[in-house]
Structure 1
Amino acid sequence: MPKTPGSELGDYGDVENSSEVGRARRRSRGSLLIAAAACALLLAAVIPSPYTIERPGPVVNTLGDVQIEGETKPVISIPDAETFPTDGALNLLTVSLVGSPERPASWLSLVPALFDPSQRIAPRTDFYPEGSSLKDREAQGTVQMQSSQAQAAAAAFRQLGEPVTAELAIAAVTADGPADGVLREGDVLQRVNGEPIADFAELRAAIVESGAEHELRITVLRDDAEVNLTLRPAVPEGGKDPLIGAIITTYYELPAEVDISLSEIGGPSAGMMFALGIIDQLTPGAMLDGKAVSGTGTVSDTGAIGAIGGLEQKIWAAKRAESDLFLMPLDNCGDLPARLPGGLTVAPVATLSEAVAAIEDTVAGKEVAGVERCSVADQ
C-alpha cells in the first residue's frame, strides 16, 4: 500500500526520537561514569593506607634565629665564650612524615608523591614499628636531639683543640640482661677491667674485646663511693656483638656552656651542622664568606660523622635552599639516588675535620671531593 504523506512524517519522527533516546542513554552512561569516578575519588580520599610519605622538611640556619613561644632566640648561643660575627648559612635539613598510626595517609594523598622525586612512599612500619605511636616517635626524637646537641658541642670544642672530659653514667638497666641486679641507674662508670674509660667508644671496645660470657670487671661510683662489680656480657638475639644490657648516657664538661634552641625537630641527624655552627661562632674570620652550606649527619663526641635517614629528601631540600655545598655522611653513599639535582655540589665526609675542609675549599674556589669518594669507600 502506498504510504501517505502523514505516514512518511511519522517515519521521520521515529528516526528523530531514536536519536534523542541514544543521546539520552549516552548522557546517562556519562553521568554514571562521572558519579562512579567521584565516588572512587571520595573513597580514596578517606580510606587510610598503610603507607607513610617522607618529604623534605623545614630548613634551619644554625647561624640564625628561631621563634619559640613568640620569642626570638639564636639557634646557637655561647654566652660564656668570646664569639665572632658570622655570615652565610649553615643549614640543617629535616624530613617531614605524612601518615602516622593516629593519622594515616589516605590513598589519594599518595598520588602526588608518585611523580615527585623529592618524596618517598614507604610502609608505615618503617617509621612506626608495630605498637608504637606518633607520641613515642616524638619522645625518642627529643632524646636523640638532646644527645646530639651535647655530642656536637663536645666535638666542636675538641676540633678547636679545647679540653673536653666525659662522664658515662647508667641511665637504665634492661630487665633480665647481664647488668640486671648488678648495675644501677645513676652509677658512674670509672674503669673497665682496671682501665679508665674516657668515652662510650672506649666502653664498647672494652666490652667487645672481653667477649660474650667472659667476666667483665666494672668499677662504678655509687653514692660517692667506688664499687667493684662483675658481669658477663651476652650477644642479644639477632645481634653480633656482646652487650651488657644497660643504657649509657654521657655528660660532658665543656670549656663553655652551649645553648641550642630548637623546637619541633627531633632526631640525631643535625649533629654535624650544630658542631659546624659552634665552630664558626668560636673562630675568628668568616668561615663561610657568605656561602650557603647545607648538610646532615650525626656526629660523635670525637668528630666521627654517622649515617642518617631521608638522604634523598634532604638533598632536594638543599637544592631548594640554593646551597653552594651539601655535606653528607660517607656512610650514606649507598643511599645516593641515581639522579642528583643539577648544580648542587655534594661532598661525602667521614669526620668533622673533613666537613670543615670541604667548606674551606668551597670558599677558596677549590674543587671539593664529591660523590666519587663513594666509589673509593665501596672498594
Structure 2
Amino acid sequence: MRPSHDDSSAPYGKSGAAGNAGPGDGRPGMPVPAPQPDGSYSVYPYQGLGQGQPAPGRRTPRARAMLVSGALALLLGAAAVLLPAQYVVESPGPTFNTLGSAGDKDIIEIEGRTSYPADGELDLTTVYVSGGPSTNISIFQAVGGWLNPDDVVYPTEFLYAPGTTSDEVDEQNAAAMTSSQEAAVAAALTELEIPYTQELTVAAVVEGAAAEGLLQPGDTVLAVGDTRIDGIDTLRNALNDVGGSPTEVTVRRDGAEEVETVTPAPKDAGTYQLGIELATTFDFPFDVEIGQGMERVGGPSAGMMFALGIIDRLTPEQLTEGKHFAGTGTIDAAGNVGPIGGIRQKLIGASDAGAEFFLAPAANCAEVVGHVPEGLGVVRVSTLEEALDAVQKLAAGGSAADLPQCTS
C-alpha cells in the first residue's frame, strides 16, 4: 500500500522538456508561457508534439487515476486491518488439574459422601479459540496463526453455522459442559459400582419414526413391556429383545402413567429403535459439584478427566501416586470415551504444563500420530475403564510404550 506518485508535481517552465518552455526561452517554434496574476506561468499546447502539458497545480488524468488508486489501496488496507477476518484460530489453552482448585474453589466438590484428598495431577486440557461469533480477529492475526506451527486456522463457516451468534455459542458450550459433567458423575459411579437412577425423557420424536403420533416430547419412558427402564442401556436392550414386534411402552405424561403400543423399527442388524431423541436426568445418591472456578471453559471434552478425578476423590488409595497426567475425551454414562476437537493443541498445552502422560481418545488417533511433543507419553483409550487401568499402571511405574498406542 504505497501513496501514488503525482507526475504533475514537477514545476513546469524549468525542465526544458518537450512541450514546456521556461520564461523567455526563445527557442523557435516554442510558445512563450503567459504570466499569471500569481506569478506562475501557464503553458499552452505545442502543436508540433500533438499534446500539451497542464498548468502547475493541475493533475493529468493519469495522475488523478493513480491518486484515486492509491486512496483506494489505503482504504482497502485499512479495511483489512480493521474489519474482522472470517477465520478462527485455535491455540493451545491452559490446563486445569481436576484434583486441584481454580481460584479459591476445588474443581470437584463432593457433599454427602466421604471423599479423600488426592495428590498428583489429572489435567483437563483446553483450546483457546480466537475469532468466530464470540471474538473478532484481524487478517494479521489469521496470518500469524498460519505461521505458528502450534496453531490451526479454520474458515469461520467450517466451525459455525451462518448466522450463529456469540450468545448461542456460549449457551451451547455451557449446555455441553453441564451435560458432560453429569455424564462424568454417572460414569464414575458406574465404574465404582455405586447405584444411582436416571430417567429418560422424550426430547423430540423423529418425523416418520415408529413413535410418531404415539409418544410426545416431555414423556418420561418408564417401561418397555415388563422391563422397567432405568437408563439408556436398559432401553436399548429391551427394544432389541422385542425386535420388530409391537410392544407396550409405558410413559409418564403430565403426572399420569400412559401406555402406548409401539412397533420398534430396525436400525442395524439386530438393533431396533423407537425413533425418539432422549434427554437424561440423573438422580445421584450424593452431590457432586464440578467445574468450580472454570466459568470460561465450555464444551463436552473434559468428561473423561472429570470422571477420573471423581474416582480418585471417592477412593482412599492414591490413583496417580503423585504423577502428572493430562488428557481429553467426551464421556457418556456407560463410560464410553468419544472424540474431541483440537487434539494437537491439547497435546502441546499438556506438554507445556509439564504432563508426563496423555490419555487420548482412540477416535482421535489419526490426528495424534506425528504430533506428539517430545517427552510426552500418549496412551490410546476408548472407555473409562481403559483410562483408569492406564493411570494405575503408569502410576505404579509402568511405561506408556507398553500400553495401547496411537499408530494410525
TM-score by length of 1: 0.77
- Extract unaligned runs of 5+ from structure 1: 1-31
Task: Give 1:221's aligned residue.
Answer: 252
Which residue does the alignment assign to 2:376? 344
- Kindly name which structure, 1 or 2, has the bigger radius of gyration based on alpha carbons: 2
Counterpart of 1:59 (choices 95, 98, 106) is 95
* Equivalent residues of 2:378, 2:405 under 8 A apart: no
Instruction: Give the structure 1 partner of residue 310 of structure 2.
Output: 278
Please give the alpha-carbon distance, in whole angstroms, between the structure 2 residues aligned to 1:345 and 1:96. 23
Asked if 1:90 is matched to 2:126, the reply is no
AA of the residue aligned to 1:302: A
Aligned-residue offset at 1:76: 0.7
SS of the aligned residue for 2:258 comes to strand
Given candidates 232, 257, 261, the residue that maps to 2:287 is 257
Distance (Å, rounded) in 1 between the aligned partners of 2:247 and 2:299: 32
Structure holding more helix per residue: 1
Corresponding residue number in structure 2 for 1:24? none
How has the CA–CA distance of structure 1 residues 57 and 102 changed in structure 2, closer, same or farther, with 3 Å as cutoff? Answer: closer
Q: CA deviation at 1:303?
A: 1.4
After superposition, what is the alpha-carbon deviation per residue over 1:239-268, rounded to whole angstroms, capped at 9, x for unaligned? Answer: xx9865543121223232111123122111
> What amino acid is aligned across from residue 151 of structure 1 in structure 2?
A
Which residue does the alignment assign to 1:135?
A: 167
Match of 2:80 in 1: 44
Letter in 1 for 2:88: T
CA distance in 1 between counterparts of 2:397 and 2:72 reads 60
Q: Which residue of 2 is the match for residue 164 of structure 1?
A: 196
The answer as to 2:137 corresponding to 1:100 is no
Matching of residue 311 in structure 1 with residue 347 in structure 2: no
SS in 1 for 2:218: coil
C-alpha distance 205-316 of structure 1, shift in aligned 2 (>3 A):
farther
Alignment of 1:1-379 (within 5 A): 42-67=78-103, 72-101=104-133, 103-173=135-205, 179=211, 181-192=213-224, 194-204=226-236, 217-231=248-262, 244=274, 246-260=276-290, 261=292, 262-369=294-401, 373-375=405-407
How has the CA–CA distance of structure 1 residues 206 and 55 changed in structure 2, closer, same or farther, with 3 Å as cutoff?
A: farther
Q: Relative CO higher for 1 or 2, CA cutoff 8 Å, sep ≥ 6?
A: 1
Q: Deviations over 1:166-205 (max 9, x none)?
A: 2212234567866554333432112235543332244356
More deviation in 332-341 or 149-158? 332-341
Kept in 1, the 8 Å contact 2:214–2:262? The answer is yes
1:348–1:370: 8 Å Cα contact kept in structure 2? no
Secondary structure of 2:133's match?
coil
TM-score by length of 2: 0.72
Alpha-carbon offset, residue 165 of structure 1 = 2.4
1:182–1:103 CA distance, 2 compared to 1 (3 A): same
Moved more, 260-269 or 147-156: 260-269
Deviations 1:53-72 (A, max 9, x none): 111223211112223xxxx2
The alpha-carbon deviation at position 106 of structure 1 amounts to 2.2
Cα deviation, residue 39, structure 1:
7.5
Q: Indicate the percent of aligned positions where both proteins have the same amino acid.
A: 38
**Cα distance, 1:135 vs structure 2:** 1.6
Q: Tell me how far apart the structure 1 counterparts of residues 266 and 164 of structure 2 sit (CA, whole Å).
A: 25
Q: CA deviation at 1:218?
A: 2.3
| Structure 2 Cα separation of the partners of residues 224 and 254 of structure 1 | 22
